[in-house]
Structure 1
Amino acid sequence: MGPVLGDLLPLAVGVAVSPIPIVAAILMILSRNGSGSGTGFAVGWVAGIAVATTVITLLAGAIGGSEPREPSAAASWIKIVLGALLLGLALAQWRQRTDADPPQWMRAIDEFTPVKALAMGAALAAVNPKNLLLCLSAGVTIGASDLGAGGKVAAVIVFTLLAATSVLIVVFGYLTAADRLRGTLDSARVWLQANNHAVMAIVLLVMGAVVLGKGVGGL
């Protein structure tokens, strides 16, 4: 379990520090439906990460190596491809680093219901290419490992909780201390929106290098 969790940790951190879901969570809890939308978004975010990672874990289980702790060539090549895609996204994000305009859906968050917020959280986790690639990498790592069924379930749970930490802290921290955190969260939102592409480029660069290195090392 230890080596697998070690491989998952940087991927979980990469998802957790992604600026867009953090900004979205802040906008949700500062909206007119604050507590309901924030809670719905957090539930959707956790569910999206868990579902995406679980599906890939199940698919990747068929390509695990036959020797203990020995990844198959197929799993290694998948990691190499995922790492290359992450590096490509890092380059694309860096080229857009001067664009600070929020996407259209962010401007509509004030009107979101809890159900819409839940759907948005799931979409950002399981459909957004940047986060999806990190969840795919985690699923391949877990599925191609020599862990038993119980160990793989535990690894998915640990990865999901770690990856969702930032959004959960923002949402439930605000629900318990709204007055004290409102100003701080609004300042964080402004900074993250202004620096979203640059932050994401750095995160994707590091994660891409890690996944690519793991793939090359497994050949």
Structure 2
Amino acid sequence: MPQVIGAILPLAIGVAISPIPIIAAILMLLSPRARSTGVGFLLGWLVGVIVAVTVFTLLAAVLPENDPDASKPIAGTIQLILGILLLLLAVRQWRSRPKHGEEPALPKWMSAIDSMTTGRGLLLGFVLAAVNPKNLLLAASAGIVIGSAGLSVGSEILAIAVFTVIAVISVAAPVIAYLVAADRMRGPLDALRGWLVHNNATVMAVLLLVIGVSVIGKGIGSF
């Protein structure tokens, strides 16, 4: 169990350090419907993370290797593929960095956040957590680790819970802080949004590179 937790921690941090969802959450907290859309987005993000990692945990659980001391070529091959895909995403993020003095381009859907309802905020949170390619690959990697470790059902649930708590904390923190002290948080949240907008590509490229190499290493170690 400790080995599994140690293996999924970097993956959960990779999901947590996702500038675009954090920017989206902050924009919602600065919008006219801040409380309702912010909470809706957080709930969608939470459910999306749980669904994604649980699905891949269940899929990995059907793999034939159950002996923790035996080699796991199927799980290892899947991890190698996921690691390579993460490296490709890292290259893509690095190449998308804005040039010096250039304003970074944000997704067009962010312009509609001011008019977003609670339901749409919830749906957006779910999509960014469970369907976004980067988060999907990280959730899949975590699910492979958990599902192929031969844990009991209770231990698997605990591992998924640990992964989820860490993965959602970056979105939960600004939402909870805003709900507690809205007036005092507007300035810091706007400053954080600006920094994330200008450093999104660089942060994600470095993060994906490190995690991709780690996943590939775990895949090689499974043979």
The TM-score bracket by the shorter chain reads over 0.9
Structure 1: segments with no counterpart, 5+ residues: none
Partner of 1:103: 107
Partner Cα separation in structure 1 for residue 26 and residue 113 of structure 2: 10
The 5-angstrom pairing of residues 60-75 of structure 1 reads: 60-63=60-63, 65-70=65-70, 72-75=72-75
Q: May I ask how many residue pairs the two structures share in their alignment?
A: 219
TM norm structure 2: 0.96
For residues 180 and 64 of structure 2, what CA distance do their matches in structure 1 show? Answer: 44
Contact in 2 for aligned 1:64/1:71 (Cα 8 Å): no
Instruction: Check conservation: 1:69, 1:145, Cα contact below 8 A.
Output: no
Secondary structure, counterpart of 2:105 in structure 1: coil
**Matching of residue 78 in structure 1 with residue 82 in structure 2:** no
SS at match of 1:63: coil
RMSD: 1.1
For residue 143 of structure 2, what is the aligned residue in structure 1? Answer: 139
Partner of 1:30: 30
Q: Distance in 2 between matches of 1:7 and 1:71?
A: 17
Question: Superposition pairs for residues 1-219 of structure 1, below 5 Å?
Answer: 1-63=1-63, 65-70=65-70, 72-98=72-98, 100-219=104-223
Cα offset for 1:181? 1.3
1:167 match: secondary structure: helix
Amino acid at match of 1:153: I
> Deviation of residue 149 (structure 1)?
0.9
CA 1:52/1:122 → structure 2, altered by over 3 Å: closer, same or farther?
same
Query: Which amino acid in structure 2 is aligned with residue 190 of structure 1?
Result: G
Counterpart AA for 1:140? I
SS in 2 for 1:154: helix
| Closer/same/farther in 2, CA of residues 71 and 14 from structure 1, 3 Å limit | farther
2:62 counterpart SS class: helix
For 1:218 and 1:63, the matched residues in 2 are separated by 13
Unaligned runs of 5+ in 2: none
TM-aligned CA deviation for residue 70 of structure 1? 3.9
Cα pair 1:57 1:140 within 8 Å, conserved: yes
The answer to whether the 8 Å contact 2:66/2:149 transfers is no
For 1:146, give the aligned amino acid.
Answer: G
Kept in 1, the 8 Å contact 2:23–2:197? The answer is yes
Q: CA deviation at 1:66?
A: 3.0
Q: Structure 1: which 4+ aligned runs deviate by more than 4 Å?
A: none
With 8-17 and 61-70 compared, the bigger mean Cα shift is at 61-70
Distance 1:50 1:71 in 2: 28
1:20 to 1:70, Cα distance in 2 relative to 1, 3 A: farther
Query: How many angstroms does 1:191 deviate by?
Result: 1.1
Offset of residue 28 of structure 1? 1.0
TM-superposed deviation, 1:46:
0.5
